[in-house]
Structure 1
């Protein structure tokens, strides 16, 4: 057991979540996303945006993983936003762990909680998008039972097109 608990995110968690998101992006996407874009990310701007938009949609669930001292991970789940989504499709919009906690089971703990919550919310399937070149994340998702479903998209970042791929799984499927 990794000593983590997962709970609903609160407004008090915004700064910690923004820190995890920004440091997570800079660690995970270096070499995959333009450096100038990553350099432009700031915890302050992310926290400001998150404060304005937090809890805006009651169908979106933000959760945090914490140890006895700190928030160490964040995940968010809601209805699938894709045009081809079926009514009972959910989507994991984000799952990030503090870079120092990668490989400790924090991501697995968050993923398990999000899958369980997807089932409780009535979602039959779950999707997520991942940058195609992010091999570490893709292996993590595959271990959680997700598979590339053949759908690709390009995310325009500054003057660059960053390829993304969609992964999907049935909520009730065992890994």
Structure 2
């Protein structure tokens, strides 16, 4: 991803939220999401995360159709070196076409190559599609749950994790 991708990434993210969280978050909130406002936020976060956050885009025919990013784990008590998948969104018309799988594979490979032993992520508890996707990618719930507030509505989230190295997988199975 480069800075010039921010408007396209924002469009994927906003449309992705509206698609993925339909019925899980307040409709007025989802309808109020703005690609323009999100573009400004993506630019700010892209600049601020330089060197710490890995942002990848998926393209088809020269257009951005997916985006994912990871960086250092943010949860207190996470094992040293834990990576966290911050986001993975695919343009709705490209869902179930392999774009998400390719992005996930690239993010996992990059995190593993960078030496991270473990990757964690937070998923909305009611998001069955995302839960199936993450399970197929080798993630599983680790027991942590947290409420997330969106426009005054509580949206429960679960933390999922996956080992990225053989040593981490062995330690996780002993754990």
RMSD: 1.2
1:83 Cα offset (Å): 1.1
1:49 Cα offset (Å): 1.5
- For 1:14 and 1:49, locate their aligned partners in 2 and report how far apart those are by CA, in whole Å: 9
1:96 matched to 2:92? The reply is no
Q: Deviations over 1:36-90 (max 9, x none)?
A: 2111110000001112221312210111011232111000011111112121100
Counterpart position of 1:139: 132
1:167 matched to 2:160? The reply is yes
1:14 matched to 2:16? The reply is no
Counterpart position of 1:72: 65
The structure with the largest helix share of the pair is 2
Q: Deviations over 1:88-120 (max 9, x none)?
A: 100100000110000100000000000001112
Q: Which one of the candidate residues 48, 51, 54 is aligned to 2:43?
A: 51
Segments of 5+ residues of structure 2 without an aligned counterpart are 170-175
Counterpart position of 1:5: none
- For 1:69 and 1:157, locate their aligned partners in 2 and report how far apart those are by CA, in whole Å: 34
* Paired residues, number: 166
Q: Deviations over 1:6-30 (max 9, x none)?
A: xxx0011111100000000001101
- For 1:172 and 1:102, locate their aligned partners in 2 and report how far apart those are by CA, in whole Å: 28
Segments of 5+ residues of structure 1 without an aligned counterpart are 1-8
- For 1:170 and 1:160, locate their aligned partners in 2 and report how far apart those are by CA, in whole Å: 32
